[in-house]
Amino acid sequence: MDISTKTTDASPPAPQPAEAGQKRNGRGTTRPGDRIFLGLSRGSGVLLLVIMAAIAVFLTYRACLAISKDHTNFLTTFEWNTNLIPPSFGIAVLAFGTVVSSLVAMVLAVPVAVAIALFLTHYAPRRLSGPVGYVIDLLAAVPSIVYGLWGALVLVPHLNGLFGWLNDYFGWTGIFSWDGGAPRSMLTVGILLAIMILPIITNVSREVFRQVPQMHEEAALALGATRWEVIRMAVLPFGRSGVISASMLGLGRALGETMAVATVLSPDFTLHASLLNPGGGTFAQNIASKFGEATQDGRDALIASGLVLFVITLLVNGAARAIIARRKEYSGANA
């Protein structure tokens, strides 16, 4: 047998199955570490659902104790006085204050935040966008009580001089009514909340706008579009769902803000309310200012108002997720 025959008869080794190679290389899901991580992930998700359910059950139970004591008009009463016998309380005035102040904050903050994010990502030079972005990050880290002190000592006196005419002509709405001659109104709270949620919406929107594909912008420029037309046709449609998510994050903070609102409205701010003048505080501010001195019935009433705030927050987040999901389906259908 010659050498050429030996070389020709030699066959290459048979390839191994892909599954065997994956198991040998440790890439499959059969590794112990993968199973442990999967179990921890599932357990964390289940634990979160259990905590949310426990909070909902606790709030519902204590709210039922308060509402069951002949308070059939809990949702429509414009009064909060748990010192009466029997106590009289309702969440209509608190719902009005919470919703109005949050809406004012969103109307003021969202356009400004989106404009700042667009300026930092598409207009400002890098040597300017870096320091400005750093300052915005610092604003997001300022404690709520600092914002509240600034609002009470600086914002309130200046608003009294600038917008005092609003109290004369629109005080009946409950939004611009001054309390004791000082502008401790829902407008003041909304402006303060707008300043507080501005960094959150700006930071998230800025990161979303940075993810816009460069080819989309270059294609628009190649077609002769101006910089604003590029933003309007390529950047804003791409980042619409992200801006909605950022706005919902800001709205969540505005709905649940406590110390800043309580500081601006001050402990002496009482809930003077009627059908024609529904001015008042917010859910979080009312709970923080009255929980310490409340009786057992009063605490149950405050917990009932906390349940309403809990439901409002869930509805807002659910609506935001539905809008984002519909936007993704619409984008996928047009792709």
Quick: pLDDT tens for 78-127: 667 666 666 677 777 778 788 888 888 999 999 999 999 999 988 888 88
Does 9 map to a domain? no
Does 3 map to a domain? no
Cβ atoms < 10 Å from Cβ of 30: 10
Better-scored residue on pLDDT, 226 or 19:
226
Q: Is the pLDDT of residue 60 over 70?
A: yes
Does 1 map to a domain? no
The pLDDT value recorded for residue 278 is 41
Instruction: Domain count for the chain, please give it.
Output: 1
The pLDDT value recorded for residue 107 is 92
Does 286 map to a domain? yes
Tens of pLDDT, residue by residue over 5-58, are 544 455 555 555 545 444 444 454 568 888 898 899 999 999 999 999 999 999
CA distance 53 to 58: 9
Q: Note down the domain range covering 128.
A: 53-330
The pLDDT value recorded for residue 181 is 53
Give the SS3 label for residue 80.
strand
CA distance 98 to 145: 18
Half-sphere exposure of 332 (CA within 13 A, CB side): 6
Q: How far is CA 286 from CA 47, 81, 98, 249, 302, in A?
A: 30, 11, 10, 22, 8
Give the SS3 label for residue 163.
coil
Using the 8-state DSSP alphabet, how is residue 72 labeled? T
Does 15 map to a domain? no
Nearest alpha carbon to residue 135 among 155, 153, 120: 120
Does 298 map to a domain? yes
Identify the CATH number of the domain in which residue 95 sits: 1.10.3720.10
Residues pairing with 80 in the sheet: 89
Does 22 map to a domain? no
Tens of pLDDT, residue by residue over 264-304, are 876 454 444 443 344 457 788 778 777 777 777 778 888 88
Using the CB atoms, write b or e for 290-302: b if 16+ within 10 Å.
beeebeebbbbbb
Q: What's the chain's average pLDDT?
A: 76
Q: How far is CA 46 from CA 39, 89, 175, in A?
A: 10, 36, 42
Predicted structure pTM score: 0.73
* Paired tokens of 325: 């999901």
Tens of pLDDT, residue by residue over 270-279, are 444 443 344 4
The pLDDT value recorded for residue 327 is 64
CB 237 within 8 A of CB 330: no
Q: Which residues contact 6 (CB under 8 A, 6 or more apart)?
A: none
* Mean pLDDT of the region 188-212: 89
The pLDDT value recorded for residue 182 is 53
The pLDDT value recorded for residue 198 is 92
Tens of pLDDT, residue by residue over 144-186, are 888 888 888 888 777 766 666 666 666 666 666 555 555 567 7
Does 62 map to a domain? yes
* Paired tokens of 30: 């059969």
- Percent of the chain predicted with pLDDT > 70: 71
